[in-house]
Amino acid sequence: MMRSTINCNLGKGSLGRVEPGRDSLGRRSFLKTVGGTAAGLATPAVIRSAQAAAPFFRLYLMIPNNQPARMIWGTLAAQQMSKLGIDVVSSYVDFPTIASRRTKGIGTTHVDGGWDSYLERYYYSSITPLPNSLFRSNLIPPNGPNFYYVNDPVLDKTLDDYAGAIDPAVRMTAIKAFEKRWYDTQPLTILFYPEDAIAVNPKLTGFNGTTFNPVFFPQPENWTIAGTGDGATAAFASWPPPTSLIPMYTIGYHESNIFGPVYNRLLEYDSWESKKLVPALAESVASSADGKHHVIKLRPGVTWHSGEPFSAADVKFTWDTIMNKAYASPIQGNALAAFGSSEVYKVSGPLELTVDLPRYSILFREQILSSVAIMPEHAYRDIKPEALRGHVASTWLGTYTVKTSDGKSYTAHGGIGTGPWIPAGFDASRKAYRYTRNERYWNKMSGNVKTFYIININGTDAVLSALKSGDIDAHDPMYDIGSLLGTIDPSWGKVARFDSYKWQHVCYNLRHPVFGTGVDTPLGKQDPSRAFEAATCIRQAISYAMPRDQIVQEIAAGLGRPGTAAMPWSAPEYDHDLLKPIPFDMDQARAWMTKAGYTY
């Protein structure tokens, strides 16, 4: 069999250290080698890693094609795996392709229509880390976001202890137990914790945070563009195109960037710098000492874009819709974990809800109240579950009309929210989502931007060209401009840097019979009771084979820190005493493979 090889040798300085004003040798050479730019890889490209001997097993690795640096370290990761005796088949695909394979919820491998492994930049759905909202074994798709099929009773116990602990000290002990179990078993390989770099229009002020699905997104209502008067137009670049713009279906920043400015949550973060929750649609939340009884008083005078008054019925409708399995929301499992059933919450007044949880859960405040966008009952209640994803409220393609309680009609060009921006549809010629400012917005708006666009632009070079030409004013951090910072002239771009509170990881299908369950490993076949141990050994081997420092310094332009566990490095919950850097050590890596029963 003919196999092509990408040369990512690990000699000192082999990829070329990134310096200001210079692009990395790895990025340009890599893209040239595989035959084009990231945009040119929309059609999956397949690379077979070189093998010196018969492989132990085959692994299909999907590498998202929207971030040049990740394409490089993904290729490097594949080559490192191949040095362990794994036959790695890598492909460059768009993220919707990955999402369609991973959300089936049946755990099949890549050759059977599912997946084996892919690269991803991830985070929890709130600033307070919620590993129980992502990795608990009961949260597999389609009604939960545990796309990886993590199924470890020991890990589950730590997550349950964390979710149910109202005492901060007890909760901290539980989260550190989670981190230790993760460190010992490596369910996913955490490569590094990135720092976000965003280039913005030097005339723009009020841009003070990065993006973080689903709670941070562009906030142009607070942007001011100097020299444009009171009616400025602004644009923000994001990629790839969304699959749905209904908030409860979000799978990433590329969707929350678009729907985020339209909707509100009950509690919201006042800024990226402080990361403090403050009242939003909820004016107050009064909670009992045991954390089970809550009275939510809603903000008066808020209206939907249609003119319909916002009420407690909208909150109940949102929660009911998420709880309804027919809608297949990825957060249904977490809502169920928090509420137990829809019987625990009720409308106790036009602007009041009462909640009596069966037990305390950290999910209630940190996800239900602060991460769930509230949807309009009057506009969405008649949309059938099977029709919602394809509806104009989700696609923003076309129009639809809704009736308000006063008998009036409102024509919508996308989602209907209470937020500061009203969708004005999709401009196909610009590949842009258009908004107009909601002058009836309940909160203050300090900027001069009155018209706003989210533009789908593919590629790092393309997005910087758009900034230079004045077509955009800022962009999502996923464009990965780190290696090009030295090419940005202050006359057309200034660089903002933020701790991303995220991590880049190699994901595994933990139902895969080799590196997931371990039943098809030599050790697992010899002694089925040790199959889990064998799979853990393989993942440990891969982890030790990853040159994290080199990835950060030479490919990510020094913007990040080596990864250890699924916990933001700068979060208070990160255990710096326990989570020591994982060394790059091929001898240790092969030793772990030997423990799984493989011989060299």
Same domain for 520 and 486: no
Cβ–Cβ < 8 Å for 220, 514: no
- Greater confidence, 239 or 1? 239
pLDDT band at 143 (very low <50, low <70, confident <90, very high): confident
Lowest-confidence pick of 12-21, 252-261, 345-354: 12-21
CATH number assigned to the domain comprising residue 463:
3.40.190.10
Cβ–Cβ < 8 Å for 288, 364: no
pLDDT at 103: 83
pLDDT band at 39 (very low <50, low <70, confident <90, very high): very low
- Greater confidence, 548 or 20? 548
Q: What is the pLDDT of residues 313-334, one digit of tens each?
A: 999 999 999 999 999 999 999 9
> How far apart are the C-alpha atoms of 439 and 449, rounded to whole Å?
12
CA distances from 15 to 64, 497, 552 (A): 21, 24, 12
> Which residues, at least 6 apart from 263, have a Cβ–Cβ distance to it below 8 Å?
247, 373, 374, 375, 415, 417, 418, 419
pLDDT band at 358 (very low <50, low <70, confident <90, very high): very high
Phi and psi at residue 285, to the nearest 5°: -130, 110
Last residue of a domain, one of 373, 391, 409: 391
> How far apart are the C-alpha atoms of 504 and 560, rounded to whole Å?
10
Mean of pLDDT values over 37-54:
47
pLDDT at 193: 98
| Percent of the chain clearing pLDDT 70 (strictly above) | 91
Please provide the DSSP assignment of 444-473 as one string.
Answer: ---S-EEEEEEEE--SHHHHHHHHHHTS-S
pLDDT at 48: 52
Mean of pLDDT values over 340-344:
97
| HSE-CB of 576 using CA atoms within 13 angstroms | 5
Hunting for tokens 């195109």 — which residue is that?
241
Same domain for 61 and 180: yes
Residue 24 belongs to some domain of the structure: no
- Greater confidence, 489 or 36? 489
Hunting for tokens 């880049």 — which residue is that?
504
Residue 530 belongs to some domain of the structure: yes
- Greater confidence, 91 or 18? 91
Residue 479 belongs to some domain of the structure: yes
Cβ–Cβ < 8 Å for 305, 438: yes
Residue 321 belongs to some domain of the structure: yes
pLDDT at 53: 60
Same domain for 177 and 105: yes
Gap between the terminal Cα atoms of the chain: 22
The pair of three-digit structure tokens given for residue 301, joined into one six-digit string: 């005078």
The pair of three-digit structure tokens given for residue 13, joined into one six-digit string: 């300085």
Q: Which residues pair with 483 in a beta bridge?
A: none
pLDDT band at 68 (very low <50, low <70, confident <90, very high): confident
Same domain for 71 and 181: yes
Same domain for 160 and 122: yes
pLDDT at 411: 98
> How far apart are the C-alpha atoms of 554 and 410, rounded to whole Å?
53
Mean of pLDDT values over 258-275:
97
Nearest 5 degrees, angle CA 530-CA 535-CA 540? Answer: 120
Residue 508 has pLDDT above 90, yes or no: yes
Phi and psi at residue 457, to the nearest 5°: -125, 130
Residue 309 belongs to some domain of the structure: yes
Cβ–Cβ < 8 Å for 389, 249: yes
Same domain for 81 and 109: yes
Residue 21 belongs to some domain of the structure: no
The total domain count for the chain is 3
pLDDT band at 46 (very low <50, low <70, confident <90, very high): low
pLDDT band at 147 (very low <50, low <70, confident <90, very high): very high
Last residue of a domain, one of 391, 406, 433: 391
Q: What is the pLDDT of residues 170-191, one digit of tens each?
A: 999 999 999 999 999 999 999 9
Mean of pLDDT values over 21-42:
41
Residue 83 belongs to some domain of the structure: yes
383 DSSP 8-state letter:
S
Same domain for 135 and 83: yes
Phi and psi at residue 416, to the nearest 5°: -115, 120
CATH number assigned to the domain comprising residue 143:
3.10.105
CATH number assigned to the domain comprising residue 321:
3.90.76.10
Same domain for 560 and 477: no
The pair of three-digit structure tokens given for residue 587, joined into one six-digit string: 């001898």
Helix, coil or strand: residue 393: helix
Give the ranges where 83-224 is alpha helix by DSSP (H).
95-102, 153-163, 168-185
Q: Which amino acid is at 144?
A: G
CA distances from 26 to 31, 63, 382 (A): 8, 16, 52
Cis peptide before 214 (omega within 30 of 0): yes
Cβ–Cβ < 8 Å for 412, 425: no
Mean of pLDDT values over 213-230:
96
| Owning domain of residue 290 | 264-391
pLDDT band at 49 (very low <50, low <70, confident <90, very high): low
Hunting for tokens 């199924």 — which residue is that?
151
CA distances from 590 to 46, 148, 538, 585 (A): 26, 24, 9, 9
Cβ–Cβ < 8 Å for 115, 62: yes
Cβ–Cβ < 8 Å for 258, 242: yes
Cβ–Cβ < 8 Å for 522, 222: no
Phi and psi at residue 245, to the nearest 5°: -110, 20
Residue 308 belongs to some domain of the structure: yes
Q: What is the mean pLDDT of the chain?
A: 91
Mean of pLDDT values over 420-427:
97
Same domain for 116 and 157: yes
Last residue of a domain, one of 441, 473, 492: 492
Same domain for 317 and 236: no
pLDDT band at 515 (very low <50, low <70, confident <90, very high): very high
Hunting for tokens 């084009």 — which residue is that?
36
Buried b (16+ CB within 10 A) or exposed e, 320-333: ebbbeeebbbbbbb
Same domain for 208 and 186: no
Same domain for 208 and 138: no
Nearest 5 degrees, angle CA 207-CA 212-CA 215? Answer: 90
CA distances from 416 to 213, 235, 404 (A): 19, 21, 12
